[in-house]
Amino acid sequence: MSNAAHDHGHGHGHGHGHGHGDHGDHDHGSGVWAKIKHIVVPHSHDSNEAIQSAEESSNEGIRAAWIGLAGMGATAILQVFIVAISGSIALLADTLHNVGHAATTIPLIIAFRIGQRAATKKYSYGYRRAEDLVGLFISLIIALSAGLIIWESVNALVNPRELTNLWWVFAAGLVGAGGNELVAVYRIRAGKRIGSAALIAEGQHARADGFTSIAVVVGVIGVWLGFEQADAIIGFLIAAAILWILVSSVRTTGRRLMDGVDDDVIDQLTEVITSTPGVISVGRVRARWSGHRLEADANVAVDSRLTVLESHALAEKIEHNVLHTVAHVENVVIHVNPVVDGVEPPELHELTHHHTSAAARQEYLSRQAAHRS
């Protein structure tokens, strides 16, 4: 058994654009209702979300975005009609927000489509980061929407106008709250299932729309009680709610763009790798989001007596365990370090050690100078 076989630079990783597991044929049911449910309800052909393929998750995200867009569009059309006959500023603010929110769904769908493109030499990690770029665009639209609502509310206070058809406004507010909450629940569930922060944010945004619709209802009640400026003041409250959503959206998108993940992701990866038979210890573990999929890599210590083939098989086993256990992971790279008698040889990283820090580089240069002299 040759120790030369243990090249510690052994990196092992595959891009997995497929699901692990036999999809098999399963019954979607028959009849009109079953067909509608199959289209609308997010689902995977595999019971384990950890092994849902990239194509499946992207298609599910696109489906959720389109269905949410249809629901919000129907709500907005109804509200536009009622704004025209009632003159409610609060309802106008809510409607403008809904229309703006619906408009941001189109770029998200485009981003999902772009993310399905194959990697190229220029974009060797693929195009899924387009989702996060769209997240920044969505944040800009949210900010513009808040600014417009504030402007309209100020104008309503300076130039008040009589409200009419308050029962219509009241009813539209209730419809808006219910419709937006349905869209929110659907998008958030789908977003969590596929790991899309952008889709989850869109769902949370829809939920905020529902809250602002409730605020419209409260504004109408205020007018009924004799507080004529309640409608315009509620418009300011809606703007404040939108700005709160903006801060949350920017924070989430920024974390993704800075390669941030939740702590439990690294903890789960470490646990799965450590529990794999043959792994002596686990070193650095990293993960980052690429759109709605996770890329991960880890350094593991193994017995130096393993051959290259055996080390490769162990790395393959680790990768397989991760793909089947940690949700949303698509690619895993395992770097194998040989261990002799439970200790990594000091010369293991001697060749590249001087690249790790300024102090290490200075030490390396000093040794080189001493050697030349």
State how far the alpha carbon of 102 is from the alpha carbons of 61, 70, 94, in Å.
Answer: 15, 9, 12
> How does pLDDT run along the chain (373 residues), one tens digit per residue?
334 434 444 555 544 444 443 333 444 455 544 544 443 344 433 334 444 555 677 788 888 888 888 888 887 787 777 777 766 666 676 677 667 666 778 888 888 888 888 889 999 888 888 888 887 887 787 788 778 778 877 887 888 766 667 787 788 888 888 888 888 888 888 888 888 877 887 887 788 777 777 777 877 788 888 887 777 787 788 888 878 878 887 888 888 889 898 889 999 999 999 999 999 999 999 999 988 889 999 999 999 999 999 999 999 999 999 999 998 888 999 999 998 877 776 666 666 666 767 776 777 677 777 777 6
**Count, residues in the chain:** 373
- Domain boundaries, given as residue ranges, for the chain: 3-16+262-372, 32-257
**Per-residue model confidence (pLDDT) at position 101:** 67
- What is the rounded CA–CA span in Å between residue 301 and residue 282? 6
**Per-residue model confidence (pLDDT) at position 164:** 67
**Per-residue model confidence (pLDDT) at position 50:** 45
Burial (0-12, 13-18, 19+ Cβ within 10 Å), 330: buried
Strand order in the sheet with 293-303: 11-15, 329-339, 293-303, 281-290
**Per-residue model confidence (pLDDT) at position 181:** 87
CATH, domain 3-16+262-372, list 3.30.70.1350, 3.40.50.150, 3.40.50.720, 2.10.109.10: 3.30.70.1350
Residue type, 153: S
**Per-residue model confidence (pLDDT) at position 237:** 82
Domain 32-257 in this protein, CATH class: mainly alpha
